[in-house]
Amino acid sequence: MLGFISRSFACAFASIFALWGLASAQDVPPYNPVTAERLLNPEADNWLMYRGTYDSHGYSALDQIDSGNVAELELVWSFTTGLREGHQAPPVVNDGYMYVTTPQNHVLALNAVTGELLWRYVRFLPDDLQQMHPTNRGVALYGERVYMATVDAYLVSLDALTGETIWEVPVEDYYNGYYMTLAPLAADGKIMVGVSGGEWGIRGFVSAYDAMTGEEVWKTYTIPAPGEPGSESWPGDSWQTGGVPVWITGSYDPELNLTYWGTGNGGPWTGDTRPGDNLYATSVIALDAATGELRAHHQYHWNDSWDWDEVSAPLLIDFEREGREISGLVHPGRNGYLWFLERGADSIGFVDAGPYVYQDVFTGIDPVTGRPEYDMSRKPGIDFEVDFCPSLWGGKDWPPAAFNPESRLLFIPANENACSTMAGEEVQYSPGRTFIGRGQSDNGGFFLREGAEHLGELQAWNVDTGEEVWTTTFASHNWGPVLATAGNLVFMGGTNDRYFRAFDASTGEILWRYPTSSGITGVPTAFAVDGRQYIAVQSGWGVDAQRQQNMIDMVRGTDFHVPQGGSVWVFALPE
């Protein structure tokens, strides 16, 4: 199937790919197709998807590198991407082939052992594109193909060996504010994506495409149309421009054949512009992988007014509560609460929730439904400016948490002591224009709690007791995705000092660190080739990590420079 183009001839030219180099067969083995079976049970040596496994644990069973020897970890190779801004994608590895994506939608295929470039896909983006989030969070693998969702709202299918474009399909029209930054989810023979654009008055959705042909199989909106269940939670025509984007890869439960997606906030930002609960904003939604049918949902908080997207997909974790085994969903929310839910074929039940950072908005949680009550003096509205904590970036933004199923510990990359000031202002919808409706506040609407001695945290929680086990703090804010490994280790960057760190998973002690060339907001991964374990990550500071740094500088009167420019880093023990 040839690619087809939605907007114009100019766009057709803009999406012609370029190949840099060709696969050199002498160094890499024949390509091992990524079958549905392999995706269900990935080998420990490989990292085949965004979080490694469908349950989004971000966990590797490899244990050659462990808390006893990690201090010896050394650089094997690095590779400069040549691009600026936020490099957030995981190095995805399939039997020696590594795939990373970059801002501006490049895909790099690398020899995972040597760092040799096999091919490079370069997407020439339209020159009238606007990018609030210049980043990409990685590829999906399926069969002998590589899939990427693009910032001009296309889904691209590439040949895994050559990088040639097999097809590309428009998911929506970038000109109206739709874009994509998430890694696609390959499941049930389909490639699933969600759309960004919550700041542009989009109507969010998740859509699925036949992995081979690119034909759209289903499309499920995150905002119901009039007459559909939940539509009563949106007044008037607000459902058409209500946002609720989906910009992080979903989890997948193959037994229920359900995919679980986190959804963003409604738009404009302050909820008084759209009175009602605004289903299915700031929720987890369970979509049938075969049909897209919305089978269940749980809304973490109603009528969001704080820009607290709850887009991180919940981790599928079976945990204990008072002697009962619960098939669960666990979500450290941007709203600062850690949520424990129960998943079923047609239901998502509330188990319990509590704050993992300082949170001054919720005054209580209904013990049965999980619905929070608000301190209305901390809920911003049109011309009603309030302070609230955590900040609009939340207790945890998009960087994914990780879970070690052996130790039962959940690792949360958190930010403490950061708060926001916000007021709404009237805004008119116009296609392709920002539709935020936030008024001007002092210091950019950001402040630090009095006496704040640190910002970033890495927290460890026991999912069975619901108790915090340890917390390691950082002076810097933290935008580090987390990797947990069977070697009793946790890996994370995220701070403005450019360090990539290994932590003792039992204590939080920093056992090793390496200063990369930029700050790390990339998702770390683990893989092995020929019996040798590697740890891989991209550095490349930008997007909201940089934006928050600007805010911190503003309130502290500092000018802290974090160098930009992306690189892939691969570490291992000495041979």
Catalytic residues: 307
Residue 212 lies near other proteins (rule: CB under 8 A): no
Q: Of 230 and 332, which CB lies nearer to other proteins in the complex structure?
A: 230
Q: Indicate if the alpha-carbon torsion angle 292, 296, 300, 304 is positive or negative.
A: positive
Shortest distance in whole angstroms from residue 21 CB to other proteins: 15
Residue 106 lies near other proteins (rule: CB under 8 A): yes
Long-range contacts of 39-47 (CB under 8 A, 24+ apart): 39/142, 39/186, 39/187, 40/254, 44/528, 45/95, 45/527, 45/528, 45/529, 46/93, 46/94, 46/95, 46/527, 47/90, 47/91, 47/92, 47/93, 47/525, 47/526, 47/527
* Cα–Cα distance for residue pair 17/104, rounded to 1 Å: 13
Segment interacting with other proteins (CB under 8 A) among 34-42, 310-318, 434-442, 517-525: 434-442
Size of the site for other proteins (CB under 8 A): 62
Q: Of 19 and 510, which CB lies nearer to other proteins in the complex structure?
A: 19
Residue showing tokens 């709203």: 335
Residue 397 lies near other proteins (rule: CB under 8 A): no
Alpha-carbon distances of 379 from 339, 420, 436, 450, 455, rounded to whole Å: 21, 11, 16, 21, 23
The tokens for 259 are: 């995919």
Segment interacting with other proteins (CB under 8 A) among 221-229, 270-278, 450-458, 506-514: 221-229
Residue 230 lies near other proteins (rule: CB under 8 A): yes
**Backbone φ, ψ for residue 77 (5° rounding):** -160, 160
Residue 346 lies near other proteins (rule: CB under 8 A): yes
Segment interacting with other proteins (CB under 8 A) among 68-76, 223-231, 329-337, 476-484: 223-231
Binding other proteins (rule: CB under 8 A), the pick from 22, 40, 75, 225 is: 225
Segment interacting with other proteins (CB under 8 A) among 43-51, 69-77, 129-137, 517-525: 129-137
* Cα–Cα distance for residue pair 260/252, rounded to 1 Å: 6
Binding other proteins (rule: CB under 8 A), the pick from 19, 122, 351, 562 is: 122
Segment interacting with other proteins (CB under 8 A) among 23-31, 139-147, 335-343, 436-444: 436-444
Residue 158 lies near other proteins (rule: CB under 8 A): no
For 81-153, strand residue ranges (E) read 86-87, 92-94, 97-101, 106-111, 117-122, 135-136, 140-142, 145-149
DSSP code per residue over 534-574 = EEEEEE---HHHHHHHHHHHHHHT---------EEEEEE--
Binding other proteins (rule: CB under 8 A), the pick from 157, 196, 220, 251 is: 220
Residue 134 lies near other proteins (rule: CB under 8 A): yes
Shortest distance in whole angstroms from residue 426 CB to other proteins: 12
Shortest distance in whole angstroms from residue 488 CB to other proteins: 39
Shortest distance in whole angstroms from residue 177 CB to other proteins: 11
Segment interacting with other proteins (CB under 8 A) among 130-138, 306-314, 318-326, 412-420: 130-138
Shortest distance in whole angstroms from residue 68 CB to other proteins: 42
The tokens for 119 are: 């091919």
Report 536-555 residues binding other proteins (CB under 8 A).
546-547, 550
Q: Is the peptide bond before 260 cis (omega within 30 degrees of 0)?
A: no
Shortest distance in whole angstroms from residue 346 CB to other proteins: 7
Nearest Cα neighbor of 411 from 344, 493, 469, 347 is: 469
Q: Of 71 and 225, which CB lies nearer to other proteins in the complex structure?
A: 225
Residue 129 lies near other proteins (rule: CB under 8 A): yes
Binding other proteins (rule: CB under 8 A), the pick from 115, 405, 444, 466 is: 444
Residue showing tokens 């859509």: 207
Segment interacting with other proteins (CB under 8 A) among 35-43, 77-85, 355-363, 531-539: 77-85
Binding other proteins (rule: CB under 8 A), the pick from 89, 93, 217, 409 is: 217
Residue 24 lies near other proteins (rule: CB under 8 A): no
Laid out side by side, the sheet with 324-332 consists of 315-321, 324-332, 337-343, 348-355
Residue 156: strand, helix, or coil = strand
Alpha-carbon distances of 143 from 2, 106, 186, 194, 327, rounded to whole Å: 19, 21, 10, 21, 30
* Cα–Cα distance for residue pair 447/117, rounded to 1 Å: 44
Residue 164 lies near other proteins (rule: CB under 8 A): no
Q: Of 298 and 498, which CB lies nearer to other proteins in the complex structure?
A: 298
Residue 418 lies near other proteins (rule: CB under 8 A): no
Residue 440 lies near other proteins (rule: CB under 8 A): yes
Binding other proteins (rule: CB under 8 A), the pick from 189, 224, 354, 405 is: 224
* Cα–Cα distance for residue pair 182/515, rounded to 1 Å: 27
Residue 131 lies near other proteins (rule: CB under 8 A): yes
From residue 256 to residue 285, the character string flagging contacts with other proteins as x (rule: CB under 8 A) and all else as - is ------------------------x-----
Strand partners, 365: 372
CA angle, 8 as apex, 134 and 131 as ends, to 5°? Answer: 10
CA angle, 483 as apex, 503 and 122 as ends, to 5°? Answer: 130
Contact predicate 520/562, CB 8 Å? no
Helix, strand, coil % over all residues of the chain, rounded to 5 = 10, 40, 55
* Cα–Cα distance for residue pair 341/83, rounded to 1 Å: 40
From residue 292 to residue 331, the character string flagging contacts with other proteins as x (rule: CB under 8 A) and all else as - is xxxxxx----------------------------------
The residues of the shown chain that bind other proteins, judged by CB under 8 A, are 2-7, 9, 12, 82-85, 104, 106, 122, 124-125, 127-132, 134, 170, 175, 199, 207, 215-225, 228-230, 280, 291-297, 346, 428, 430, 432-434, 436, 440, 444, 546-547, 550
